[in-house]
Amino acid sequence: MKYILALLSLITILSTSCVSQKEIVYFQGMGLPNQDSAQYNIKIQDDDVLNIFLSTKNKELLEPFYNNMVLGMSKDLRSAYTIDTEDAADYRVERDSTIMLPVLGAVKLGGLTTDEASRKIAQIVKDKGYIHDPIVRVKLKGFTVSVMGAVKHPGVYNVNGERTTVLDALSQAGDLKVSGKRTNVAILREYDKKRSVKKIDLTKREVINSPYYYLHQHDVVYVEDNGVSSASGSPFYNFIKSNQAIFGVGVSLVSLMTSLLVH
């Protein structure tokens, strides 16, 4: 009898010590906040690659810029030029936070958003008297983020475009393991030569409002392991978990029978 009791007790411990459903569900609570309220304010940094396009309704005004490339447009494209042309050039931001543009020279863009950079270049073009109605588009050509720790596929992942979230990065990494601690995900960020670490709780719906919900260039996402046994997720674990209530009743009955026999 005591062996049966010990076995049932062990099974109960195994089934109750595993991660609870509440610990692995994202965005707990009623409803979700408006995603537009999330703070997204990515800034241009050194070594970023920017895609820059300059256009105007009067293509003759672009003539001074023709020097192999006109902020992206080659001479061969002049005859076919229209305002909708999507050919643009890539420029790397130097260590002094500037890019070198044809005719305009060095322009400091570090610390600006891409919208702010677009307006700054357009204003310089106007102020120098080259074009009175320039249309400038600046885009971040992508960046990388790293995902480490208790995820299925840790590694460095490329982000196309400017916007990605911590959930996007975790999805690329195959999501968290069962042992991944969703309540304590760390985001390591470096900006303006300063490093910061922020821990977020993915089980809380308020996480979408965190300034770390959207990732920045070269962010590192680290998922802590909560120490759950690797046996979780196995057929035996699934059997025990699905029959947890039955085993609990069994332990109670055996305990009662043992007490009666002893007395």
pLDDT tens per residue, range 74-129: 445 444 443 333 456 789 999 999 999 888 889 999 999 999 999 999 999 999 88
| Per-residue pLDDT band at 3 (split at 50, 70, 90) | low
Count other C-beta atoms under 10 Å from residue 239's C-beta: 12
Predicted pLDDT at 85: 39
Q: For residue 209, give every residue at least 6 positions away whose Cβ sits within 8 Å of its Cβ, in sequence order, or none.
A: 33, 37, 38, 39
CA-CA distance, 159 to 42, in Å (whole number)? Answer: 13
pLDDT in tens, 198-231: 999 999 988 988 989 999 999 999 999 987 655 5
> Is residue 7 predicted with pLDDT exceeding 60?
no
Return the structure tokens found at 204.
């809380």
Q: Is residue 231 assigned to a domain?
A: no
Are 159 and 221 part of one and the same domain? yes
CA atoms lying within 13 Å on the CB side of residue 106: 8
36 with 147, same domain: the answer is yes
The rounded Cα 148 to chain-centroid distance in angstroms is 13
CATH number of the domain enclosing 217: 3.10.560.10
176 neighbors 223 (Cβ within 8 angstroms): yes
Question: 216 φ, ψ to 5°?
Answer: -110, 175
* Sequential DSSP letters for 46-71: TT-EEEEEEE-S-GGGGGGG-SSEET
DSSP 202-246: TTBGGGGGSTTSB--TT-EEEEEE----TTTTSHHHHHHHHTHHH
> Do residues 37 and 147 both lie within one domain?
yes
Looking at the structure, do residues 106 and 158 belong to the same domain, yes or no? no
Residue 59: pLDDT over 90: no
CA distance 208 to 139: 24
Confidence band, pLDDT 50/70/90 cuts, at residue 135: confident
CATH number for position 118: 3.30.1950.10
- 3-state secondary structure at position 113: coil
Long-range contact pairs involving 138-141 (C-beta distance under 8 Å, separation at least 24)? 138/50, 138/51, 138/52, 138/109, 138/114, 139/50, 139/51, 139/52, 139/114, 140/42, 140/44, 140/48, 140/49, 140/50, 140/51, 140/114, 141/48, 141/49, 141/50, 141/51, 141/90
- Report the C-alpha gap between 73 and 115 in whole angstroms: 21
Does residue 109 form part of some domain?
yes
Does 152 lie in the same domain as 90? no
Whether 85 and 57 map to the same domain: the answer is yes
66 plus 176 within the same structural domain: no
Query: How many domains is the chain partitioned into structurally?
Result: 2
Length of the chain: 263
Q: What pLDDT does 158 receive?
A: 94
Per-residue model confidence (pLDDT) at position 191: 84
Q: Which residue has 């947890």 as its token pair?
A: 244
Q: Name the residue range of residue 173's domain.
A: 22-41+142-225
The residue ranking higher by pLDDT, 90 or 245, is 90
* Helical ranges in the chain per DSSP H: 2-17, 21-24, 114-127, 166-172, 235-242, 244-262
Tens of pLDDT along 33-58? 454 445 677 899 999 999 988 888 77
